[in-house]
Amino acid sequence: MNTIAGLRAVLDERRRGGASVALVPTMGALHDGHLALVRRARELADVVVVSIFVNPLQFGPTEDLDRYPRTLEADVAALSGLGVDVVFAPDVAEMYPDGSAAGTKVTAGPVGGRYEGAHRPGHFDGMLTVVAKLFSIAQPDVAVFGQKDAQQVFLVTRMVADLDLRLRIEVVPTVREADGLALSSRNRFLDGRERVAALVLAESLDAARTSAADGASELLAEGVAAFGDHDGVDLDYFVVVDPATFLPVDEEFRGRALVLVAARVGTTRLIDNAFVEIGADAGADAGPDARAELPPSPAE
Ligand code: AMP
């Protein structure tokens, strides 16, 4: 399905029959992380819509829009057997008939300018704009997002609250490779050496988790130190934020916090995050995506 009118017609019909709708927005190049979202969606609603759209609006002029993998056929194959009702894969002209630059945009609040937003100006406005459009097009009861993109989850949740949008946001824990690397569509760009080097992100989160008992400064010092001896890896940021505000915590902060990390490995930019319990015993379980946890299989 690649037209807005076509998707609306299908969903209107199903809703008339009393069906609920779950939406899983993606940019395609699907991996097991995306599929975990789809499985969760399948549990939550009668009709599951997966959107596949590489949104030009959320890429900066020097970013990897052209290089971003587009694998629609393989994506559709990966979704078969998961009970997806509609794959919505519009082209750019369908979503932005007058061009993406000219139209109305959603503007993120101040958190949108931090972390990922500081490194990718305009990224979150572009992301929120397309997500708002997808919400308006599909009018889902629930939309499913991955904790992998923690700042995205925060900003989408804020948009839903701030604009009184009528849906629920469901968050699925980060799915990882066996060695801890968070699954990402961009991992396919890593060569053998970079794939090994990329582990430093998960390792830095481990280091942060282990030192969280000693407070935020110690946690940050240990996390950043993990990047010390990795050639070809450039740390963009390593911060610890209060999940309620997404603002950096101070040294007095105690309780559940979120550590965010971003780094460039060769030419590939990767992000990851983990919940930690600041001021608690080192082994304390800080949340659903504690590093040791295996990929979630909500269907099981
Ligand atoms: P993307 O296609 O990168 O825009 O991602 C689409 C959705 O999949 C977003 O909600 C992401 O947070 C989620 N996602 C991507 N990677 C993972 C992962 N490793 N685990 C869980 N969710 C993920």
- Measured by CA distance, the residue closest to atom 14 of ligand 1 is 146
- Measured by CA distance, the residue closest to atom 18 of ligand 1 is 33
- Measured by CA distance, the residue closest to atom 6 of ligand 1 is 26
- Fold of the domain built from segment(s) 190-288: Pantoate--beta-alanine Ligase; Chain: A,domain 2 (3.30.1300)
Quick one: tokens of 286? 């800080």
| Helix (H) or strand (E) run with residue 131 in it | helix 123-138
Q: Is 33 helix (H, G, I), strand (E, B) or coil?
A: helix
pLDDT of residue 220: 97
Instruction: Give residue for tokens 């975990």.
Output: 36
Q: Which residues line ligand 1 (CB under 6 A)?
A: 26-27, 33-34, 36-37, 145-146, 148-149, 172, 174-175, 182-185
Residues 203/185, Cβ–Cβ less than 8 Å: no
If you measure from the C-alpha of residue 155 to the centroid of ligand 1, how many angstroms do you get, rounded to a whole number? 15
More confident residue, 186 or 295: 186
If you measure from the C-alpha of residue 164 to the centroid of ligand 1, how many angstroms do you get, rounded to a whole number? 24
If you measure from the C-alpha of residue 296 to the centroid of ligand 1, how many angstroms do you get, rounded to a whole number? 13
pLDDT of residue 292: 37
pLDDT digit string (tens) for 28-49?
999 999 999 999 999 999 999 9
Q: Under CATH, which architecture does the 4-175 domain have?
A: 3-Layer(aba) Sandwich (3.40)
Q: What is the pLDDT confidence band of residue 290, given thresholds at 50, 70 and 90?
A: very low
Burial of 145 (0-12, 13-18, 19+ CB in 10 A): buried
Query: Given a cut of 70, is residue 187 above it in pLDDT?
Result: yes
pLDDT of residue 285: 55
More confident residue, 18 or 231: 18
Structural domain boundaries of the chain?
4-175, 190-288
If you measure from the C-alpha of residue 28 to the centroid of ligand 1, how many angstroms do you get, rounded to a whole number? 10
Beta strands in the chain (DSSP E): 21-26, 47-52, 86-88, 142-146, 168-172, 233-241, 255-265, 268-278
Catalytic residues: 34
Q: Which of 270, 285, 246 is nearest to 148 (CA)?
A: 270
pLDDT of residue 287: 58
